[in-house]
Amino acid sequence: MRPAGAVSTAGHPFGPLRATLSMIKFQHTVFALPFALIAALLAARGLPAPRVLALILLAMVAARSAAMVWNRIADLEIDRRNPRTASRPLVTGALSLRFAWVFLAASLVLFFLSASLLNRLALLLSAPTALVLLSYSYAKRITWMAHLHLGASLGLAPVGAWVAVTGRIDVAPLVLGGAVACWVAGFDILYSCQDVEFDRREGLHAIPARFGLKRALRIAAALHAAAIALLLALPLLTRLGAPWLLGVACAAALLIYEHRLVRPDDLTRVNQAFFAVNGVVGFLLLAAAAADVFFRG
């Protein structure tokens, strides 16, 4: 019997593709991508050159794919024991471990190649960036601050996009990256509330397992408040104005709604909070930044 929610490839001409997209959770690209595009718009003060924009997208997809498939490889035995993750393609056999290793190597090559075609600084930063992304898979075995490690991994997206456009690092993308890091760490805490008992049993480190659900939700709220504060500070460093501030206000309202969805005694709406709400937040802010850049000049 196949686990509930398992990806079936039998009889489907695109079955392996479906399983691969499921393995890397391609739909979760919506979390980092909007912020990379925001940074690219701000750095270029408009649309970057098509070649640069294409390479940014290619580097992002490759880096994220490498991080996700490495996480699946590293966590394979843990995923086998966790009922929530028992339907993942490597666990069910929909994809082989050999395929995962080849996919990882190809993704890393594509990431380094994209960086090399952008500029010298992008290439120099590509190796440490890959190290941060891949090392996350072991963070939860070491520290309950693994959520911040994940946040920092996604927070590199706007910094990388800024470097791709300008060839340098400035304060503005670091502030935006810090906001992304706090935002991601906050909603990752919410998501990990589902695994609190499993994490304790397996000796894995996470804020809900370490501090309990009530305190974990407070910590997540504090991180989201910090993210909003950093987003509000961005106009001090860039030419963003009223449209951006309106977008941040709407994002703050969405995060408040997200925290109303998840309670210590009711985790049934965690997935709604995790994907639906946070997916909207990123693109809402991208729309606000685009309106600011293109309509305000």
In tens, the pLDDT along 191-230 reads 888 888 888 888 888 999 999 999 999 999 999 999 999 9
Question: Looking at the chain, how many residues does it have?
Answer: 297
Closest CA to 196 of 185, 184, 212: 212
Residue 15 is predicted with a pLDDT of 61
Residue 297, pLDDT > 90, answer no
3-state secondary structure of 257: helix
In this prediction, residue 126 has a pLDDT band, given cuts at 50, 70 and 90, of: very high
d(C-alpha 106, C-alpha 98), whole Å: 12
In this prediction, residue 26 has a pLDDT band, given cuts at 50, 70 and 90, of: low
Alpha helices by DSSP H, listed for the chain, are: 15-23, 33-44, 50-74, 76-81, 89-92, 97-118, 120-139, 146-166, 171-192, 196-202, 207-211, 213-233, 242-261, 270-271, 278-296
CB atoms within 10 A of CB 71: 20
What percent of the chain is modeled with pLDDT above 70? 89
Residue 88, pLDDT > 60, answer yes
3-state secondary structure of 263: strand
Six-digit token pair at 116? 């090399």
Burial bucket for residue 15 (CB in 10 Å: 0-12, 13-18, 19+): middle
d(C-alpha 22, C-alpha 6), whole Å: 10
Residue 6 is predicted with a pLDDT of 43
Q: Which residues contact 199 (CB under 8 A, 6 or more apart)?
A: 140, 192, 205, 206, 208, 209
3-state secondary structure of 169: coil
Cβ atoms 68, 103 nearer than 8 A: no
d(C-alpha 171, C-alpha 124), whole Å: 19
The interaxial angle of helices 242-261 and 213-233, nearest 10 deg, is 180
Residue 173 is predicted with a pLDDT of 97
Residue 27 is predicted with a pLDDT of 62
pTM of the entire predicted model: 0.88
Residue 168, pLDDT > 70, answer yes
The end-to-end CA distance of the chain, in Å, is 59
What is the average pLDDT score of the chain?
88
In this prediction, residue 180 has a pLDDT band, given cuts at 50, 70 and 90, of: very high
Residue 112 is predicted with a pLDDT of 97
Residue 125, pLDDT > 90, answer yes
Residue 48: DSSP 8-state: P
Q: For each of the domains in the chain, give its residue range(s) and CATH number, in order of start.
A: 43-296 (1.10.357.140)
